Amino acid sequence: MTRARQDRLLATLVRTGDWVTAARLADALGVTPRSVRSYVTALNGRVPGVVVESGAQGYRAGPDAGAAQRAPAADAGTPGDRLHTLVRALLDAEDGIDVHDVADTLHVSDATVEADLARVRALLTGTTLVLARAGSRVRLHGAESAQRRLLSRLVHEEMDAGAFDPQALRRALGEGSLGAQGLGAFETALRAALVARGYYINELGIADVVMHIGIAADRVAQGRALESAVAAADETADAVAELVAALVEQHFGVRLGAGDRQHLAMLLLTRVITPDPAAAAPGTSLDPAVLDAVRDLVTAAAEEFLVDLVHEDFIRRLAMHVQNLRRRAAEQAWSRNPLARSLKSTYPMIFDIAVSIASGLGERLGMSLPDDEIAYIALHVGGRLERSRRAEQLLTATIVCPGYYEMHELLRSSVDRSLGQSIEVVDLQTRLDPDWAAIGTDLILSTVDAPPLGDRVVRIQPFLGDADVERVQAAASRIRRGRRLARLRRELEGYFDGAAFTAALPDEPVEAVIRRLGGMLVAQGVIDDDYVQRTIERERLSSTAFTDALAVPHAIGMTATRTVIAVGVADRSIAWGDARVQVVAMVAFSEADREAFQTVFEQLVEVFSERDSVQRIVRRATDFSSFLDELVAVIDG
């Protein structure tokens, strides 16, 4: 039984927020229902109270789930805990560790420690750190900056997908660490000082930087200061460096050297703070190469996805972000984004635009970005598109309210004030008997009885109340969803093909699944082998498992001869990167269907984000005809 799987089970329950059956949990984890019961028992033993509730409907997170997620591992002998213990010992001991002594301390055999050291070497792959061996003595060689990056990786693994907390830092650094103490008071003082100096704070990044400051304070206290400053700092960086140094000395009693001061100032300037107002104001200094690259990539993405992105203020803000990102990439000092997973599953098209831009940045500026950093680009893209979408999503409305003094005008003002972001009042009828058939707006908000005109009529009171507002919002949501799903149904029925469907998808590596589904499309002449290879390359950039049940592999570029979606359904979930899915829909889009991309992509993910719908489709989709029937039934609700 592994703590990692226990943690994944608990994270799934916390994220779902409702009852989940043992079978569904088992499928998500790739284990048996009996194992799920064992994991639940172990979780409930972590802390006093109820971590996981059990019932006839399955399991759900209990009131003490959060405490269990933060609890240290009770069994220090698990492979994961031994690995972290070994890494901490290697980082702390300048003269290295003795294999026999470690085995005695951990109460395991020398062979077990040797196996764990092999896992440490694997952990160091891709870093500049190496293990040096002399007899039974093992020592970690590498720059202090690389050792700190390894420490931050341990902290992130302790936190898994949760938010940063000092306990996670303390577990990663060791119980006697200095930096984990007093971080709350330090962060409060840092925020106040930055705001007082006119900076805007990125709330998604500050916790991660505070973690790095805690690591720095702890390492400097052990005599492990960073090497000298790597580049000349400007006046702004010097001021931030002095501020951080003063607060670290005040709260932790540690005096930072030039290297640490500059490093921490760089982290704050590139991850957390920007001048207020906008960082991308016209006077902001931007590298012309970065600005040109971002402008070209944004323009290309706008043309490829048919979205409204080409605005100079947006391009400059994103360019400033990329300029900071380039500095982080040079040091491999990535910024963690707690919204990465939800952004990918909730806004797949926006995330895919961000992946396209990130791919271009890799080619133009030599940066290979992880999902967390791609998610920050997605936030920029989503913010820009939201401004455009807000106007597009407005529903038109007619108010029917008999004229009596200014009552109808007051009602219109109340509707505009309470519902102006979702509907636009274009007509006001003050007769008791208007020509109902002639009213062609999306909604009719009436204070009098109306003939049966479907869901678009909402009865409201002359003096708008909270209940009226909720009814109008609900009706507006139904109309938008109905239109989206009706459009989706029309489009999907034309894109699926019985010759590109399999109801027996085997559990094989991701690239093999892509080649299997892509082969069906190649056989039909829809795409060529190059498209399949580009789909694999897109998958390597960022996993296309957009929900807990669905992966949507696709290539960047709409080069198919016609749009077809190849579908594979697995009876049991299959591994897809760090996730497990039951349905894989490989999408090949043609240039002619460019306008349908956003609708199909986002709404397909929406349909498969509801677990009950997925299970219904998977259970009944024994062939292509039954798959399409069930999909349409789910869409129709």
Does pLDDT of 543 surpass 80?
yes
Q: What is the pLDDT of residue 230?
A: 54
Q: How far does Cα 466 stand from its chain's mean position?
A: 34
Q: Encode pLDDT of 427-437 as tens digits.
A: 999 888 889 98
Does pLDDT of 71 surpass 50?
yes
Does pLDDT of 1 surpass 80?
no
Q: What is the pLDDT of residue 123?
A: 86
The arithmetic mean of pLDDT across residues 310-333, rounded, is 86
Q: What is the pLDDT of residue 277?
A: 43
Amino acid (1-letter code) at residue 170: R
Q: What is the pLDDT of residue 389?
A: 62
Helix, coil or strand: residue 497: strand
Q: What is the pLDDT of residue 249?
A: 92
Q: Encode pLDDT of 224-248 as tens digits.
A: 898 765 555 577 888 899 999 999 9
Specify the pairing of strand 58-61 against strand 130-134: unpaired
Instruction: Domain 395-464: state its class.
Output: alpha beta
Rounded distance, CA 216 to CA 152, Å? 10
Q: Encode pLDDT of 157-186 as tens digits.
A: 766 544 555 566 666 666 556 655 677 788
Inter-residue contact 350 to 381 (CB < 8 Å): yes
In degrees rounded to 5, what are phi and psi of residue 106?
A: -90, -5
Side-chain-facing half-sphere of 8: CA atoms under 13 Å: 18
Q: What is the pLDDT of residue 282?
A: 42
Q: What is the pLDDT of residue 165?
A: 58
**For the ranges 105-109, 498-502, 525-529, which has the lowest average pLDDT?**
105-109
Q: What is the pLDDT of residue 571?
A: 83
Q: Which of residues 97 and 167 earns the better pLDDT score?
A: 97
Q: Encode pLDDT of 356-377 as tens digits.
A: 999 999 999 988 899 989 999 9
Rounded distance, CA 610 to CA 346, Å? 12
- Output the DSSP codes for 318-344: HHHHHHHHHHHHHTT-PPP-TTHHHHH
Q: Which fold has domain 487-636?
A: Mannitol-specific EII; Chain A (3.40.930)
Rounded distance, CA 83 to CA 303, Å? 48
Q: What is the pLDDT of residue 523?
A: 94
Nearest to 256 by CA among 178, 357, 372, 166: 178
Q: What is the pLDDT of residue 167?
A: 61
Residue in the block written with tokens 């000298």: 228
With a threshold of 0.85, does the pTM exceed it?
A: no
Q: What is the pLDDT of residue 355?
A: 94
Both tokens of residue 529? Answer: 């082998």
The arithmetic mean of pLDDT across residues 441-465, rounded, is 89
Segment (H or E) for 97: strand 97-98
Q: How far does Cα 300 stand from its chain's mean position?
A: 24
- Output the DSSP codes for 136-158: TEEEEES-HHHHHHHHHHHHHHH
Q: What is the pLDDT of residue 207?
A: 80
Q: Encode pLDDT of 545-594 as tens digits.
A: 988 889 999 998 888 998 899 999 998 889 998 888 999 999 998 888 87
Q: What is the pLDDT of residue 256?
A: 92
Specify the pairing of strand 395-400 against strand 443-446: parallel
Across all residues in the chain, what is the average pLDDT?
84
Burial of 283 (0-12, 13-18, 19+ CB in 10 A): exposed
Rounded distance, CA 623 to CA 502, Å? 7
Going along 376-429, which residue ranges are E strands?
Answer: 395-400, 423-429
The arithmetic mean of pLDDT across residues 5-22, rounded, is 86
pLDDT band per the 50, 70, 90 thresholds, residue 197? confident
Query: What is the strand order of the sheet 443-446 is part of?
Result: 423-429, 395-400, 443-446, 457-459
The arithmetic mean of pLDDT across residues 407-423, rounded, is 87
Q: How far does Cα 502 stand from its chain's mean position?
A: 30
**How many residues make up the chain in this entry?**
637
Does pLDDT of 627 surpass 60?
yes
In degrees rounded to 5, what are phi and psi of residue 12?
A: -65, -45
SS3 content of the chain, % helix, strand, coil (to 5): 55, 15, 30
The DSSP 8-state label assigned to residue 562 in this structure reads S
Q: What is the pLDDT of residue 161?
A: 45
Going along 460-543, which residue ranges are E strands?
Answer: 496-502
- Asked, colleague to colleague, whether 395-464 and 487-636 share their fold, the answer is no
Q: What is the pLDDT of residue 339?
A: 82
Q: What is the pLDDT of residue 495?
A: 86
Side-chain-facing half-sphere of 470: CA atoms under 13 Å: 3
Instruction: Domain 3-67: state its class.
Output: mainly alpha
Segment (H or E) for 98: strand 97-98
**For the ranges 254-268, 278-292, 399-413, which has the lowest average pLDDT?**
278-292
The arithmetic mean of pLDDT across residues 392-396, rounded, is 76
The arithmetic mean of pLDDT across residues 526-555, rounded, is 92
Nearest to 544 by CA among 587, 505, 512, 508: 587
Q: What is the pLDDT of residue 79?
A: 73
Percent residues over pLDDT 90 in the chain = 30
| Domain ranges for the chain | 3-67, 173-275, 288-391, 395-464, 487-636
Instruction: Domain 288-391: state its class.
Output: mainly alpha
**For the ranges 84-88, 167-171, 419-423, 624-628, which has the lowest average pLDDT?**
167-171
Helix, coil or strand: residue 623: coil
